Structure 1
């Protein structure tokens, strides 16, 4: 090698390494941690003396802590807003099941935006925004995905763990890059260890790790060694002497709390391993770490005095911890009290990571950076709307709007007068104990007017009027499993046998083999009917015994859109399948 070539290569390598170091400084890694049904009070740092969370407490001590941070009352809407910076209704997500937990593929996620900037992107745990193409994590910007299906392991929508019963969290079959794989161990340990492997594999490039624990969601299953630490505690003791309300706990609530605290401690131990890996790899300073939860607790327990729990628009249902740590970017160990929400994560990461927010749609969130940088922010310029029912917003049921420290809550009829609402001054009454609607009717009417305008806009969103379709037969996913979580139909459709249900689909022309799995074996001798659009196919079944799995082959369909409606009738009863598998030949 001659001198000139050697010098050129040396200079080139120096330039590349310098360029990479510069790029790395401008492109921090991102680890977004969210837990499932962990309430505001399920942390030692929030005054709970029973739960042991030294790792999360230490993270909080080193972080910027947003103490007025809010999420949706239930999980799928929270995750849709978190991923897109938009109210969940804009994305097509309105519920946790009943066909309402599928996010339109046209939505642009944090993962897609970071992937476009050269980030490696991975999700580990719960997705809950659609289990079929084109709504899976792999369709929405994630290079690597290890998830369970539907809203929770052991639920009817998660077809690979449902029949494991009280062992659904152990040795599960999960979906790794859209394929079923069996894993050994406890679910939280699996998700965390795979996230750590992803971090290590991508140590030399910017990465986005979405560690989305399904714990401590029900079913409350935890390794025995963790439960033993809590089996003798009284989760209802030691509260109520600091001026904050404490709501009574039943014996079942207390036993549930013991299991929840054990599950949370297991998460804490797994996060200790993750944070140790960041230090070991020397990338801790250039990594943004966010910790949050998705809604309030499902069961009654300590919630730091807040009223309500999961599903409620009261503070106990929607106020959540939010800790953000970025050593290379800003100073930690600070409390910030400005009104913030899950909607704000995408705009904040846009500022920190240098990507542009989508310009072709409404982004409801606002960057947190002005608050982090101590810039003056007018609290009256920020509102936060919340609701939850099984469908679209019901006027005025379980609905609220906050602005400037005030909160209007509706749990009344659609034509109710303003005095039927609740109005709280959260600055002086954070526990929502004193309804001021009678003395501040003008403030209540002002907030109600804003609420009405926003509901009217959200109710007309395209993705709500025309919900996302599961696409079948396009080669990206074959076979396709349609599960109960994404089935529409009667409200409350879950694991019932005799219930009306269907899936909204778009089917490519072709020949299909179809299998129907039932919740329990059904009597033989009936007829299986499969409707799609204007086509109805009827199949006779054998006349003896019982049937658990039914199969029909060579079904020919033309290209079509509509409701895929399967039902089996026998003995005057109609059975809706547990799941349907469609394989294009």
Structure 2
């Protein structure tokens, strides 16, 4: 009997030790769910004072968890997403635009997914990536085990070749890209992305996972299921603010209709987040899962934004201040007022998950972990740099530096004197209504000195001086499709026919079959020219068609520009997309 009891107690202690080790491992490597929405402004939530939009799930999530009230992002989406994924200002990563070839992130960057994979995490993305549609910058090339995404900056946009031609129905029954291959799906896009994210969580519940749920809604085109539109069909989004002293934007009838659709899209997202949180509870994962909710920039259209000035694309607060809520295992409700930003997310996840920060690179962000676990302290002396213009930063145009209570804003020319800038005390004037620069030029000059140093540092980044290249003829993506979102060239290149465009590429030498797709049928009697590093392949065409093919084209190995144009009736027509398949 004594021997039996001894063995029984020994077994008990061994099992207890194993369970304790497993528990410690879980505590070291909690699951991570990172949720981001697209063009949902600070004011598009009930908990931020909007009397019209219905967001009960997110309102409750904010109330019960950690609310960062002074959280900032970039003025537009691709820069925000590159900073979110890397902890670095977007210009360091090569991302300088939302298209014009400027939303391709360098493959040398280390993402949250790559960082967590080193710690044994399974990783998945569902929704919008917007950091490169071609090898080696796709999510599946940047650390994600599973990838279900649309292309370019949005569904229904020119770069997303499988939804562009669907027009006003692009958000419904889409063809999406699953692990690099097009696949048809049934339903509304936000429902699809949320359902697939939940499936991923269910499939990976036995080990640590990182789930990046990146909704493309409520970005344009504003397409919403009828059920959700009906919730707002009869409201006036400009009403309810008569006794509110904060600034409110003028809204046209179109703006009001747009707001109704946006609010429907946001309520749909709220319902989907509710489904995901409920499933975490059912799987008993909530107590070991870090959940983050944020948005990527301000609203695209005029509507309630809590009185702040500006919207998407602007460096004023309405364009860059967004909601940021976090549920951290073991912590309850807390409000954090320190100045924080998208660049802080990677180092925060690294510290919470016991992961090593990427080495041999500048990490601009700071971990928020101490703000979660200790009394809130003042971080206002940190600086944040903002800018937005097409292609590359335009010195002092839509550019700002925020430090302490003060924010210096430039909407002026490269050689402007200090008097041409704007200075705001954000603590006293959170709506940026009173330019106090005339009486505070010394403060403005100090901020401008720091702005200049930051700008010079970022604009000289290796990935800006040597832009990320699309690799053609690599076995990891063959064939490869060059789309309009990745095309460099004229500012604002989109769906135009007669426009200058090119692709910056690295070509592996060999023979290729090349297919050229045009926006609409081209006339016969023209000539197609494919130019690759000084080698020009010419083909005459006699048919009216929207597709041309060149077979067995011998392409040299090089790094540089790839250009193609069809010349007919005095017009120079850029293909809508080009597919290249290496055949030898």
TM-score (norm 2): 0.97
Answer with 361-370 or 299-308: which moved more: 361-370
Q: Secondary structure at the match of 1:34?
A: strand
State the superposition RMSD in angstroms.
1.8
Following the alignment from structure 1 to structure 2, what is the Cα–Cα distance between the partners of residues 435 and 469? 43
Q: Which of 551, 554, 557 in structure 2 is aligned with 1:553?
A: 551
Q: Secondary structure at the match of 1:478?
A: coil
Contact 1:370 1:377 in 2 (8 A): no
Matches within 5 A, 1:265-280: 265-280=267-282
Matches within 5 A, 1:569-580: 569-580=567-578
Q: Which residue in the other structure is 2:50 paired with?
A: 48
Q: Secondary structure at the match of 2:287?
A: coil
Q: Deviations over 1:520-559 (max 9, x none)?
A: 11111111100011211111112x4x11111111011231
Following the alignment from structure 2 to structure 1, what is the Cα–Cα distance between the partners of residues 27 and 352? 11
Alpha-carbon distance change, 116 to 240 in structure 1, aligned in 2, over 3 angstroms? farther
Following the alignment from structure 2 to structure 1, what is the Cα–Cα distance between the partners of residues 242 and 340? 28
Contact 2:35 2:212 in 1 (8 A): yes
Q: Which of 141, 144, 147 in structure 2 is aligned with 1:142?
A: 144
Q: Which of 299, 308, 315 in structure 2 is aligned with 1:313?
A: 315
Following the alignment from structure 1 to structure 2, what is the Cα–Cα distance between the partners of residues 578 and 391? 20
Q: Which residue in the other structure is 1:398 paired with?
A: 398
Contact 1:379 1:403 in 2 (8 A): no
Following the alignment from structure 1 to structure 2, what is the Cα–Cα distance between the partners of residues 376 and 19? 32
Q: Which of 559, 564, 567 in structure 2 is aligned with 1:566?
A: 564
Following the alignment from structure 2 to structure 1, what is the Cα–Cα distance between the partners of residues 67 and 56? 16
Alpha-carbon distance change, 160 to 378 in structure 1, aligned in 2, over 3 angstroms? same
Which segments of 5 or more consecutive residues in structure 2 lack a partner in the other structure? none
Answer with 150-159 or 350-359: which moved more: 350-359
Following the alignment from structure 2 to structure 1, what is the Cα–Cα distance between the partners of residues 259 and 48? 16
Q: Which residue in the other structure is 1:121 paired with?
A: 123
Following the alignment from structure 1 to structure 2, what is the Cα–Cα distance between the partners of residues 153 and 380? 38
1:358 Cα deviation after fit: 1.6
Which segments of 5 or more consecutive residues in structure 1 lack a partner in the other structure? none
Q: Report whether the alignment pairs 1:249 with 2:247.
A: no
Q: Secondary structure at the match of 1:567?
A: strand
Q: Which residue in the other structure is 1:514 paired with?
A: 514
Q: Deviations over 1:391-441 (max 9, x none)?
A: 222121000000111100000111111111110000011000111001111
Alpha-carbon distance change, 374 to 428 in structure 1, aligned in 2, over 3 angstroms? farther
1:316 Cα deviation after fit: 0.3
Q: Secondary structure at the match of 1:577?
A: coil
Q: Deviations over 1:306-338 (max 9, x none)?
A: 00000000000000000011133xx33221111
Alpha-carbon distance change, 583 to 201 in structure 1, aligned in 2, over 3 angstroms? same
Following the alignment from structure 2 to structure 1, what is the Cα–Cα distance between the partners of residues 564 and 12? 67
1:380 Cα deviation after fit: 5.1
Q: Report whether the alignment pairs 1:181 with 2:183.
A: yes
Q: Report whether the alignment pairs 1:471 with 2:471.
A: yes
Alpha-carbon distance change, 530 to 15 in structure 1, aligned in 2, over 3 angstroms? farther
Q: Deviations over 1:550-570 (max 9, x none)?
A: 111101123111101010001
Following the alignment from structure 1 to structure 2, what is the Cα–Cα distance between the partners of residues 428 and 185? 47
Contact 1:240 1:246 in 2 (8 A): no
Q: Which residue in the other structure is 1:214 paired with?
A: 216
1:19 Cα deviation after fit: 3.0
Following the alignment from structure 1 to structure 2, what is the Cα–Cα distance between the partners of residues 173 and 302? 34
Matches within 5 A, 1:244-393: 244-328=246-330, 331-374=331-374, 377=377, 379=379, 381-393=381-393
Contact 2:532 2:556 in 1 (8 A): no
Q: Secondary structure at the match of 2:24?
A: helix
Contact 1:73 1:311 in 2 (8 A): yes
Q: Which residue in the other structure is 2:227 paired with?
A: 225
Q: Deviations over 1:41-60 (max 9, x none)?
A: 00000000100000011110
Q: Deviations over 1:460-512 (max 9, x none)?
A: 10100110000011100011011000100000100000001010111111111
Contact 2:294 2:325 in 1 (8 A): yes
Answer with 414-423 or 44-53: which moved more: 414-423
Following the alignment from structure 2 to structure 1, what is the Cα–Cα distance between the partners of residues 124 and 386? 29
Counting matched residue pairs gives 579
Following the alignment from structure 1 to structure 2, what is the Cα–Cα distance between the partners of residues 229 and 340? 34
Matches within 5 A, 1:489-508: 489-508=489-508
Following the alignment from structure 2 to structure 1, what is the Cα–Cα distance between the partners of residues 169 and 454? 44
1:10 Cα deviation after fit: 9.4
Structure 1 moving runs of 4+ over 6 Å: 3-14
Q: Secondary structure at the match of 2:437?
A: coil
1:370 Cα deviation after fit: 2.2
Contact 2:293 2:325 in 1 (8 A): yes
Following the alignment from structure 1 to structure 2, what is the Cα–Cα distance between the partners of residues 417 and 209? 47
Contact 1:479 1:582 in 2 (8 A): yes
Following the alignment from structure 2 to structure 1, what is the Cα–Cα distance between the partners of residues 219 and 508? 37
1:5 Cα deviation after fit: 13
Q: Secondary structure at the match of 2:401?
A: strand
Q: Deviations over 1:373-392 (max 9, x none)?
A: 33575535410000000122
Q: Which residue in the other structure is 1:483 paired with?
A: 483
1:119 Cα deviation after fit: 0.5
Contact 1:512 1:553 in 2 (8 A): yes
